[in-house]
Structure 1
Amino acid sequence: MASRSNAQAKLNTVVEVIGECLDSEVCSIYLLREGMLELFATRGLAQEAVHVTRMGVGEGLVGTIAEKAGMLNLAEAAAHPDFSYRPETGEDKFHSFAGVPIVHRERAVGVLCVQHVEPRRYEEVEIEALQTVAMVLSELITNADLIDEDDARALSAAMSGPQQLSGLTLVKGLAIGAAVYHQPRVNIEHIVAEDTEAERSRVIHAFDKMREQIDRMANQAEFGVGGEHEEVLQTYRMFAYDEGWTRRINEAIDSGLTAEAAIERVQQRTRMRMRQIDDPLLADRMHDLEDLANRLLRIVSGQIGTAASLGLRSDAILIARNLGPAELLEYDRRKLKGVILEEGSLTSHVVIVARAMGVPVLGRVRSLRAMVREGDPLLLDADQGLAMVRPSAGAVEAFEARFARSRERQATYAALRDVAPVTRDGKRVTIMMNAGLREDMSNLSLTGADGVGLFRTEFQFLVSATLPARERQTRLYRDVLDAAGDKPVMFRTVDIGGDKTLPYLRHDDGEGEENPAMGWRALRVALEREGLLKVQARSLIEAAAGRTLNVMFPLVAEPWEFDAAKTVFDGQIQYLRGQKKTLPEAIRYGVMLEVPALAEQLDLLAPKISFLSLGTNDLTQFLFAADRSNPKLAERYDWLSPAILRFVRRVVRGVEGHKVDIGVCGEMGGRRLEALALMGLGIHRLSITPASVGPIKELVGMIDLAELQTAVSGWLDHPPADMRATMSEWATARGLPID
């Protein structure tokens, strides 16, 4: 490579050197030119075929290697189904064949192959030598302008073409954008090392730093609760300390590669093996190694920033293994159109934040990083749990037409902003929205919602590195109340624990929980760590000075828990009164009914509260003993099951005769068919996502509530075989819009 000869002369020399070293009669280099793979240099084949023999991507053994960016090692080439004989090359006497792709920026731009007269499979060390040489050749041919980026992109498209990915819908919505990796891959600029010892030292330091990061992550509380995160980190640690991986990288450095190129060379080998793995569990573990290698590459190259720190240049769909809420909030909302995750669950707090931001999210997408490249065009249909990678022009056109219809519907809903949600028979229904961020409050005026029926105060805790100071909490709550004006805001006290763990708030025993959703969380944490609730109580009371404060306690299982929480607020009121501070004009206390046990004690609780909100998300999983973060159970239990609807009816009847405003906070109220059922049960206050306010307001104006209540009562007294189908037919017959 250092010689002064031209590129063609260098390639001619390279094929001779490789052929001699591997004792192969044939060594050939094919490069991508004008969308075809052209024979550029050869030892052993007819020289007249150079620059004459060309084949398409996917054609013959060479084309197959380029198409799949994979390796072939065959004792009998002609026996392979993709074998294609080219008479002008004179290769009919050669039996064995081995080839590897020449890769530039994750795209195959050529093929390096060897052939031998006698049938034999090449040794592992010989294949690895070919891969190392192919990496060096990629730098040579790129610097010599022997390929151009348009050809590489054309090959990339031909390699993959349109692909459809499926996953679990985490946040519904449609999005169009280019794939952007949360942690971008490193572009390797220099492949050949000038100082091998210096490169080895860089790798050693990078390994030390990476292992330190993994150990630190494993010791954080949020990774100590068992389940997937713990499993991932155990695998990470296993690979991070794997001597075989370290040895292979050092061997690649010994062959003359830079630290970055050595890591990438080992990873290319891993990727090729991954394509041959049928065992999904083993394939997942190989993905873990890929992720870890990317981390090592970023450390050794000094490129450790995320895509958020670099800034999004255009409409983007973010690709990641998983995300935290703080990481998501770093992105420019104007350009972040959607998120696709390899992991993710319905209850993870990043999903709650994404929903608040109005960003569609698709999770549990297998082989995501193997199928999607940086910059690939994407269509995200989180409504259907699908994503289209590199879509055809027809698919884009159809998707954009659907997008346009969606925007038309949004315009219709916007026209209802100042229209009160009143049924045809004159019953006023209260439609409120859920929020959790200061920025969410702008949706209040955009949607015309009647207020905030659920303000999740834990968001401020989740995105902070330390416990938020009282002054910060007070400022947030005051800003929220100012933005709401004369509309009510129901503040739910902090709901942390379970899946929403904080690294600065640990269990006393340091142990994780087998069932965190039913464990040490929400009000249970607040009552045990009373200082936490005291600070929040004082912040809320001070922020609501001279106004009405609505406070809601989560996960109340028994009345005494409500009493204990209210006592904390009473204590802070007494303290502030003694300090001559201005107090709220009134304080209305309420609870979230998520634990079914509370329904049996409503007669004891109802006289003490002003409002009751059913948290249908947690309530459903507790009623059915079904973890909704488990994809096998996520769609198994229907919200329109008679079991749920009868339970809601029992709760409504349980507060009759008391001055208790009863409503629903949760996804159930934001779905039109489910909202019909709730209104038919006597629920006249719904708190839902801002995006659902318009559709539900439209629905309210089209129903006759008395007729609906009669129908729902009849269905629950004598449940049909399929409640959802029965309700759908009833709604369709009356021209009511349903999801």
Structure 2
Amino acid sequence: MITSRGIAVSPGIAIAEAVVLEPDASRVRKRLVAPAEVDRELQRFESALSASAEEVRALSVTTAETLGPELAKIFAFHAGMLADEHLLGQVRHSVRNDRVTADYAVYAVLSRLASTFSGHRDPYFRERVTDIQDLQRRILGKLHRPLDLGLAAITGPCILVARDLTPSQTATLDTAKVKGLVTDYGGRTSHTAILAHALGIPAIVGLEHATRDVNTGDTLVVDGKRGVLIVDPDAPELLAYREENDRDADREQKRGKLRDVQAVTRDGTPIELLANIEFASEIPGALDNGAEGVGLFRTEFLYLAAAEEPTEEGQLKGYRDAIRHLAGRPLTIRTLDLGADKLSGLAGVGEDDHERNPFLGCRSIRLSLQNLPMFKRQLRAILRASAEGPVRIMFPLISGVMELRQAKMVLNDVIEDLDDEGIAFDRSVEVGMMIEVPSVAIQARCFAEEVDFFSIGTNDLVQYTLAVDRCNERVAPLYSACHPAVLMLLKEVIRAADRTGIPVSLCGEMAGQPEYVMLLLGLGLRRFSMTPPAIPEVKQVLRAVSIEQCRRVAGKASRFDSDREVLNFVRDELSRVLPEVYSGRA
């Protein structure tokens, strides 16, 4: 049994035999052509280019119909490259001046570009290499050199293992056959990862050596929740995962019953359950799971899915779509939460600034405040959308009071501009902030006087409090949301919000984990925001407990010295409340 850990990009558990896709070893040979054949080669290229562009347009339409218009924007990068005269000019120049075949010119120019992108220090560029390879494969296919990775040969349920997949390949996967996806390369924001998540395929990327360690026919377990791949699991491990899969399936069947059941504790305390989303198209599914609104609309993919900074009108459309789907339910939009390391090539931001530690550098609200035109465009789009439904604005990664006040001043400037232009917006739009930095959690009372609401982002709060990068396999076990220091900060933030009379929610992964429900309720939390599939499970737990019972759990948990003691305790309490559900695998 081999166990390895990668980057979890799409939740769920898949158990099936592996199909390992061999890397595309096809290399186009350099072949010279006679001067009289140059025009014919150029015509072949133009025809292949036209056919490829039409195919990308069709794929974009299909993706929009099946996965939503936001995901279809991924292929705007492909369309842009197919219309890039500088890039196409290199191919034409190679055919004319070097007198090579159109096939070789396409292969050489795009291979060179892919190599340049792969060596770029910016992760955004490195993650676009598969897009370039996708286009290369597509154009060469139109030049009668099909480069098939064997996807068409898949006949039954399997887990796909590959060095990487292109966005086109991922978008067209047959989910009836492909039950899981594992790749050597890729990151959280790669287009392949985004599409796998949208398709609902459990997926792990960035495993580095999966294609080396796995053979076609091996039994695999893909744990998309924890980022764990198990090759040829032993009998106890396989049984445990099958039982967990069965429990997940049972919970899925109960969703319909829980959707319209009120989120209220056993003693009658109402709890608000909201959804975290990336795309407006996710909202119908979130409502099906029982979401009462959106507590976190991550706007980053509006930027990452495009080849350039999205326009004000483009952003406005995305926000309006979300408002229409929600039909009067609340929508909380978080302003851009990316670093300069992700946007340098996209928006002309920080192109010459190399940051050794981007997580402690120019990102989130810091990046927005240093790029005011971009920040104002987003705020204008959010405010204009607020005229059509309830919208709240949330600033990420605030670390000091002056930073928050500066962000509010920029917002007020935008409000004045809209007033001067006679553009409608909701004047009562609420303004809140994320609690993600220990300095803010410690000063929570001060910040509560400045905003309309808090939202605790435990993912970053834990990371910054414990000085642990949860994506670093060597220290990931030290990352723990139930560390006593983290619990102290949570308690302080919730208490400060209650004393000031502003609502507080928790939108980190902790909110969607059943073992923490009683603990968080006991600390005073009454608003949870989570990934939509987690809502029914959290609702099931909170309906089985009383607030007094939860206060006792939180009180005892607060007296433990280690995160392991806390975790074992809350899991034991959960198994006592719902033994028929939580007496198995932790």
CA RMSD of aligned residues (A): 4.3
Inter-CA distance 223–689: structure 2 relative to 1 (3 Å threshold): closer
Distance 2:12 2:266 in 1: 30
Would you say how many aligned residue pairs link Structure 1 and Structure 2? 509
Correspondence for 1:685: 527
Instruction: Give the Cα separation in 2 of the matches to 1:636 and 1:350.
Output: 29
Offset at residue 614 of structure 1 (A): 0.8
Amino acid at match of 2:14: A
The answer to whether the aligner puts 1:637 opposite 2:475 as a matched pair is no
Indicate if the aligned counterparts of 2:202 and 2:224 stay in contact, CA closer than 8 A: yes
- C-alpha deviation, 1:613, in angstroms: 0.7
CA distance in 2, matches of 1:293, 1:602: 48
Closer, same or farther: CA 707–390 of 1 in aligned 2, 3 Å: closer
- What residue is the counterpart of 1:174 in the other structure? 13
TM, length-normalised to structure 2: 0.74
Letter in 2 for 1:492: R
Counterpart in the other structure of 1:341 = 183
Q: Which amino acid aligns with 1:453?
A: G
Verify the 8 A CA contact 1:553 1:592 in the aligned structure 2: yes
Structure 2 residue aligned with 1:210: 111
Correspondent of 1:597 among 434, 439, 448: 439
Q: Is the 8 A contact 2:296 2:333 kept in 1?
A: yes
Helix, strand or coil: the match of 1:453?
strand
One-letter code aligned to 1:210: S
Cα 1:566–1:352, aligned 2, differ >3 Å: closer, same or farther? farther
Any residues of structure 2 matched to 1:435-584 within 5 Å, and which? 435-497=277-339, 500-501=342-343, 503-508=345-350, 510-584=352-426
**d(CA) in 1 for partners of 2:174, 2:443:** 44
Aligned match of 2:90: none
**2:415 counterpart SS class:** helix
Check the 8 A contact 2:560/2:566 in 1, yes or no: no
- Given residue 601 of structure 1, which amino acid in structure 2 is its aligned partner? Q
- Per the normalisation by structure 1, the TM-score is 0.60
Identity of aligned residues (%): 28
Q: Which deviates the most, 504-513 or 651-660?
A: 504-513
Given that residues 17 and 159 in structure 2 are in contact (C-alpha distance below 8 angstroms), is that contact kept between their aligned partners in structure 1? yes
Cα displacement string for residues 21-74 of structure 1 (whole angstroms, at most 9, x for unaligned residues): xxxxxxxxxxxxxxxxxxxxxxxxxxxxxxxxxxxxxxxxxxxxxxxxxxxxxx
Quick one: higher RCO (CA 8 Å, sep 6+), 1 or 2?
2
Match of 1:96 in 2: none
Q: Which ranges of structure 1 fall in alignment gaps of 5 or more residues? A: 1-162, 234-291
- Where 2:505 maps in the other structure, the secondary structure is strand
What corresponds to 1:249 in structure 2? none
Aligned counterparts, 1:278-317, within 5 A: 317=159
Task: Give 1:653's match in structure 2, choosing from 492, 495, 498.
Answer: 495
Shift in CA distance, 327/558, structure 1 to aligned 2, threshold 3 Å: farther
The SS at the match of 2:449 is helix
1:722 deviates by 1.5
2:24 corresponds to 1:185: yes
Structure 1 residue 576, shift from structure 2 partner: 2.1
Partner amino acid, structure 2, of 1:639: A
Larger radius of gyration: 1
Partners of 1:512 and 1:459 lie apart in 2 by 22
1:350–1:638 Cα change, 3 Å: farther
The one-character-per-residue Cα deviations of 1:168-227 (angstroms, maximum 9, x if unpaired) are 361431225676778963679x9xx999999x9779865565234312443574368xxx
Mapped contact 2:506–2:529 kept (Cα < 8 A): yes
Do the aligned partners of 1:596 and 1:622 also contact (CA within 8 Å) in 2? Answer: yes
CA contact (8 A) 2:163 2:184 kept: yes
Per-residue CA distance 1:341-381 (angstroms, 9 max, x = gap):
22456788976775565432224535322344679885534
Q: Contact between 2:4 and 2:228, CA under 8 Å: does it hold in 1?
A: yes
Q: State the secondary structure of the residue aligned to 2:473.
A: coil
Name the amino acid aligned to 2:543: G
Q: Does the C-alpha gap of structure 1 residues 604 and 399 become closer, same or farther in structure 2, counting only changes over 3 Å?
A: closer
1:400-439 map, 5 Å: 403-439=245-281
Asked if the contact 1:493–1:536 (Cα under 8 Å) also holds between the matched residues in 2, the reply is: yes
Shift of residue 484 of structure 1? Answer: 0.6
Shift of the 322–609 alpha-carbon distance from structure 1 to 2, 3 Å rule, reads: farther
| 8 Å Cα contact 1:432-1:687 kept in structure 2 | yes
How far apart are 1:657 and its partner, in Å? 2.1
Where in structure 2 are there 5+ consecutive unaligned residues? 35-98
Instruction: Tell me if the contact between 1:217 and 1:223 (Cα under 8 Å) persists in the aligned partners.
Output: no
Distance 1:560 1:305, change over 3 A: farther
8 A Cα contact 1:547 1:586, kept in partner: no
> Once the two structures are superposed, what CA deviation does each residue of 1:548-568 show, in whole Å capped at 9, x if it has no partner?
221101111112222222222
Name the structure 2 match of 1:727: 570
Task: Give, in whole Å, the separation in 1 of the partners of 2:210 and 2:240.
Answer: 24
